[in-house]
């Protein structure tokens, strides 16, 4: 069953689905969040449980907005993993799965937008979370004035989204873009994706922590030792940043090196997409010295004629990026349905 979107509706619901929580926001035609709800996403008990948790949260958000479900045009969803935005299937997502005989099977080729649509009686569309965040920044955030942007979402993993000539680049099966898995050092560190030398393996949170561990082992005088009371397992990016802000040279070197590698990834993206804007999202972007180091590295590695017309800026939407981008996914699909 395919539910058609209500083209003249004044509201959509944007859903930010993660491995821990699901958040739904009702967004009106004037880009305002008018109601919202949040719940646990029940990510490890199979597809039916995830769909049920998501649908419940959408209904609660609609009630919070003082509306009824018939006034909603469509539901857009931001989902981590390889999301086939054409078929609505989750092709691959390690954030979700279910236990069978004690073994955890991640989602592989799991129908998703279809079951959500049937459960709610609304048109439903899904996209990769980083792609959806890029769409949100393009429409409502840092990229409002441009037609070409590349966004990197920095965190445990490194997500990315590309808008080219006003259109989100999704590729043939929704898998584009994964700039976190572009190889920046052949035969380099192993990445969570299984291959070697990816940007994520050099700039993801665990890479930053490993870099810090190595750095403090060589520098017993670093103030980081007293911050972690000698226990390396308690080290966090936040603690490293606090030390960096106070001028700890070891902490500063960690972000300098991270920024160097990030700059290579950004330079590659500039060479491929010729964007006028690179948007950096994720809390780590604010780490002391990271952006400046990335800019210096971009200057060394990017094609000069394209670098000079490209600005690197911080994301503007903050924690609303997921739901606002998902709402925009819904509006854009409604417009083209
Ligand atoms: Zn990788």
What residues flank ion ligand 1 with Cβ within 5 A?
181, 191, 193, 198
Position 282 scores a pLDDT of 92
Ligand 1 midpoint to CA 189 (Å): 10
Q: Six-digit token pair at 217?
A: 């082992």
**Confidence label for 2 from pLDDT (cuts 50, 70 and 90):** confident
CB 16 within 8 A of CB 323: yes
Residue 324 has pLDDT above 80, yes or no: yes
DSSP conformational letter for 20: S
Average pLDDT for 47-73 = 97
Q: Six-digit token pair at 160?
A: 């990315």
Residue showing tokens 């000698």? 230
pTM as predicted: 0.93
Ligand 1 midpoint to CA 200 (Å): 6
Ligand 1 midpoint to CA 205 (Å): 13
- How far, in whole angstroms, is CA 262 from its chain's centroid? 16
Ligand 1 midpoint to CA 195 (Å): 6
**Confidence label for 183 from pLDDT (cuts 50, 70 and 90):** very high
Domain boundaries defined on the chain: 11-138+320-336, 145-315
Ligand 1 midpoint to CA 186 (Å): 12
Q: Could you report the per-residue pLDDT of 140-162, keeping only the tens digit for each?
A: 999 999 999 999 999 999 999 99
Residue 22 has pLDDT above 80, yes or no: yes
Residue 44 has pLDDT above 70, yes or no: yes
Residue showing tokens 């004037």? 30
Ligand 1 midpoint to CA 155 (Å): 14
Position 337 scores a pLDDT of 59
Q: Could you report the per-residue pLDDT of 121-134, keeping only the tens digit for each?
A: 999 999 999 999 99
Ligand 1 midpoint to CA 284 (Å): 19
Residue showing tokens 């005989």? 101
Ligand 1 midpoint to CA 220 (Å): 32
Average pLDDT for 41-69 = 97
Position 227 scores a pLDDT of 87
Q: Show the CA angle centred on residue 135, arms to residues 203 and 76, nearest 5°.
A: 110
Residue 1 has pLDDT above 60, yes or no: no
d(CA 59, CA 76): 14
Ligand 1 midpoint to CA 183 (Å): 8
Ligand 1 midpoint to CA 178 (Å): 9
Ligand 1 midpoint to CA 185 (Å): 11
Q: Do the first three CATH levels of 11-138+320-336 and 145-315 match, i.e. the same topology? A: yes
Average pLDDT for 234-242 = 94
Angle between helices 321-336 and 129-140 (to 10 degrees): 80
**Confidence label for 228 from pLDDT (cuts 50, 70 and 90):** confident
Please give the full DSSP string across 140-202, using - where no structure is assigned: HSTTTT-S-EEEEEESSSEEEEEEETTEE--TTTS----GGGSBSSTT-SBPTTSSBSBTHHH
Compute the mean pLDDT over every residue in the chain, rounded to the nearest whole number: 95
Give the CATH H-level superfamily of domain 11-138+320-336.
ATPase, nucleotide binding domain (3.30.420.40)
Position 220 scores a pLDDT of 85
d(CA 56, CA 150): 33
**Confidence label for 319 from pLDDT (cuts 50, 70 and 90):** confident
Instruction: Report the CATH number of the 145-315 domain.
Output: 3.30.420.40
CB 6 within 8 A of CB 333: no
Q: Show the CA angle centred on residue 316, arms to residues 315 and 319, nearest 5°.
A: 90
């Amino acid at each position: 069953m395919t539910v058609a979107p209500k083209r003249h509706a004044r509201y959509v619901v944007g859903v930010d689905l993660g491995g821990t929580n699901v958040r739904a926001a009702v967004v009106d035609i004037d880009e305002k969040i008018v109601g919202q709800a949040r719940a646990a996403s029940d990510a490890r008990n199979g597809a039916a449980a995830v769909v049920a948790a998501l649908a419940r949260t959408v209904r609660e958000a609609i009630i919070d907005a003082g509306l009824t479900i018939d006034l909603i045009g469509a539901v857009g969803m931001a989902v981590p993993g390889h999301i086939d935005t054409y078929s609505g299937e989750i092709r691959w997502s390690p954030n979700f799965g279910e236990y069978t005989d004690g073994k955890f099977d991640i989602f592989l080729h799991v129908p998703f937008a279809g079951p959500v649509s049937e459960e709610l009686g609304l048109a439903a569309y899904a996209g990769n979370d980083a792609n959806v965040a890029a769409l949100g920044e393009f429409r409502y955030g840092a990229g409002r004035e441009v037609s070409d942007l590349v966004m990197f979402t920095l965190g445990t993993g490194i997500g990315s989204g590309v808008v080219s000539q006003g259109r989100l680049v999704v590729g043939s099966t929704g898998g584009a873009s994964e700039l976190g898995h572009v190889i920046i050092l052949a035969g380099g560190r192993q990445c969570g994706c299984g291959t070697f030398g990816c940007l994520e393996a050099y700039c993801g949170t665990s890479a930053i922590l490993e870099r810090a561990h190595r750095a403090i082992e060589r520098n017993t005088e670093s103030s980081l030792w007293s911050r972690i009371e000698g226990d390396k397992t308690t080290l966090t990016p936040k603690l490293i940043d606090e030390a960096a802000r106070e001028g700890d040279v070891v902490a500063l070197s960690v972000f300098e090196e991270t920024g160097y590698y990030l700059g290579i990834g950004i330079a590659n993206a500039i060479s491929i997409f010729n964007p006028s804007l690179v948007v950096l999202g994720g809390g780590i972007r604010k780490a002391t010295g990271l952006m400046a180091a990335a800019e210096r590295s971009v200057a060394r590695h990017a094609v000069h004629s394209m670098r000079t017309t490209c600005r690197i800026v911080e994301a503007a939407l903050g924690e609303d990026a997921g739901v606002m981008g998902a709402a925009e996914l819904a509006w854009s699909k409604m417009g083209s349905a």
